[in-house]
Amino acid sequence: MKKFDPSTSIHDYLVFGEFGDVNPSVTDSSTFTFINPQRMEDLFDHEIEGCFLYSRHWNPINKYLSNALARLEDSESAQVTASGMGAISSTILDICSTGDEIISGRTIYGGTYAFFKNFLPRFGIKVTFVDLQNLKAIENAITDKTKIIYGESISNPLLEVTDIPAISIIAKKKKIKLVIDNTFSPMIISPIRLGADIVIHSMTKFINGTSDCVAGCICSTHDFIASLTDINSGATMLLGPVLDSYRAASILKNLHSLHIRMKKHSENALFLATEFEKLGIKVFYPGLRSNKNFDLINSIMNEGFGYGGMMAIDAGSYEKASALMTRMQEEKVGYLAVSLGYFKTLFSSPGHSTSSEIPEEEQKSMGLSEGLVRFSIGLDNDITIAFERIKKCLKEINLI
């Protein structure tokens, strides 16, 4: 485990508003004035610190939030986007052209999977899905056209931990970019420090944490962010997934409590995972000693934020999973809803969405069952109350 270096954390980062406001002013402008035409021409040519042109390109509040996210991920630079998918699609389309190839983990977020499988082939970009737990399979899939290896630090829905240091060695040898979606584990895992080139977040989830908006970000080198925002050729500039200023301001304020929230999500999830395991339920949680990735996550994670708030259990069949989720909602354990990182516990059944495209035999070998229930554990002050309620539901449908 690594100590989180406070000199790079957002808590060692001071910004002031126009009048010394502790929260920087919200940018309420789409366009910006110039002192003379020459200065405007200069900005078209190259970025000028503190000088803004048009809000689809940059504006002050989006810059403040981006800088804070760069501190969070210890990257040179960052850019915020209107959604996690906006961050993912812009990153891929900035790097890849027709004829290029991507190697991706086979269990990834449903929207990313659909973008890779159904959308990118229209542009002649080929994606090969592999088991990222199998380093040999990654090496074997590399061709001279491979531009990106893509994975999630903790994957959806089985919570497999990606060996970022080992995969980054493979990627660097072949000059391939390693792109990591860190949505499930902000603060907990720092992919850039472990060798990733680009980190993506759906800020819709833990980073914002209030389930009131959709947003994303891309953290990487100055060069890559400059490429994305290039006025004449950049993917975010030209595809236009710009985050609204008012949202950027509210996300920045929520970011300030991220470390406390992550600790509590993790503490509650570890408690429930441990208790479920004792009851004989099949649990997927990387913080359990019995988990296949327990040693790996301990070797790469930052100290003090736990193993994350995401967990899955196997209810055996889709019917049992549905009954369990219905009863848990009635018992006020939380909400039957997709998404994650909310103060309330959320649960859904991934077996009928993302993973349905994976051949049945393969699903079985991966441990992906139709009865899987994925949880985003909430910030309950006393998680034992939720545990007693869940236990009651499990008993009623004869799972314990």
Ligand X SMILES: *Cc1c(COP(=O)(O)O)cnc(C)c1O
Residue 156 in contact with ligand X, rule: CB under 6 A: yes
Which 250-309 positions form the footprint of ligand X (CB under 6 A)? none
Tokens of 259: 């470390």
Binding-site size, ligand X (CB under 6 A): 15
Give the shortest CB-398-to-ligand X separation in angstroms. 32
Stretch that binds ligand X, among 9-17, 109-117, 134-142, 157-165 (CB under 6 A): 109-117
Residue 341 in contact with ligand X, rule: CB under 6 A: no
Bond from prior residue into 157 cis (ω within 30 degrees of 0): yes
Q: Which one of 95, 149, 199, 214 is in contact with ligand X (CB under 6 A)? A: 214
Q: Kindly write out the interface string for residues 110-139 of this chain, putting x where it contacts ligand X by CB under 6 A and - elsewhere.
A: -xx---------------------------
Residue 24 or residue 216: which is nearer to ligand X going by CB? 216
Question: Looking at beta carbons, which residue is closest to ligand X?
Answer: 84
Residues 6 or more apart whose Cβ sits within 8 Å of residue 394:
279, 281, 324, 400
Burial of 391 (0-12, 13-18, 19+ CB in 10 A): middle
Residue 247 in contact with ligand X, rule: CB under 6 A: no
Give the shortest CB-361-to-ligand X separation in angstroms. 25
**Degrees, nearest 5: CA angle 213-310-217:** 40
Residue 191 in contact with ligand X, rule: CB under 6 A: no
Residue 84 in contact with ligand X, rule: CB under 6 A: yes
Residue 83 in contact with ligand X, rule: CB under 6 A: yes
Give the shortest CB-154-to-ligand X separation in angstroms. 9
Distance CA 103, CA 135 (A): 12
Asked if 189 and 216 count as a contact pair (C-beta separation under 8 A), the reply is no
Stretch that binds ligand X, among 136-144, 198-206, 230-238, 378-386 (CB under 6 A): 198-206
Asked if 84 and 204 count as a contact pair (C-beta separation under 8 A), the reply is yes
Residue 374 in contact with ligand X, rule: CB under 6 A: no
Q: Which one of 109, 116, 307, 335 is in contact with ligand X (CB under 6 A)? A: 109
Residue 52 or residue 375: which is nearer to ligand X going by CB? 375
Asked if 62 and 4 count as a contact pair (C-beta separation under 8 A), the reply is no
Distance CA 329, CA 98 (A): 47
Residues 6 or more apart whose Cβ sits within 8 Å of residue 193:
2, 74
Please name which of 99, 87, 72, 305 lies closest in space to residue 179, comparing C-alpha atoms. 87
Q: Where are the alpha helices (DSSP H) in the chain?
A: 37-45, 60-73, 84-95, 110-114, 135-141, 164-173, 222-228, 235-239, 245-255, 258-278, 294-300, 318-330, 360-366, 383-396
Stretch that binds ligand X, among 168-176, 202-210, 251-259, 275-283 (CB under 6 A): 202-210
Distance CA 101, CA 126 (A): 5
Residue 81 in contact with ligand X, rule: CB under 6 A: no
Give the shortest CB-354-to-ligand X separation in angstroms. 10
Tokens of 93: 């389309």
Distance CA 75, CA 238 (A): 23
Stretch that binds ligand X, among 30-38, 50-58, 81-89, 388-396 (CB under 6 A): 81-89
Q: In what order do the strands lie in the sheet with 282-284?
A: 282-284, 310-314, 372-376, 345-348, 334-336
Stretch that binds ligand X, among 57-65, 108-116, 299-307, 310-318 (CB under 6 A): 108-116
Residue 209 in contact with ligand X, rule: CB under 6 A: no
Give the shortest CB-48-to-ligand X separation in angstroms. 31
Residues near ligand X, by CB under 6 A: 83-85, 109, 111-112, 152, 156, 181, 183, 202, 204-205, 214, 216
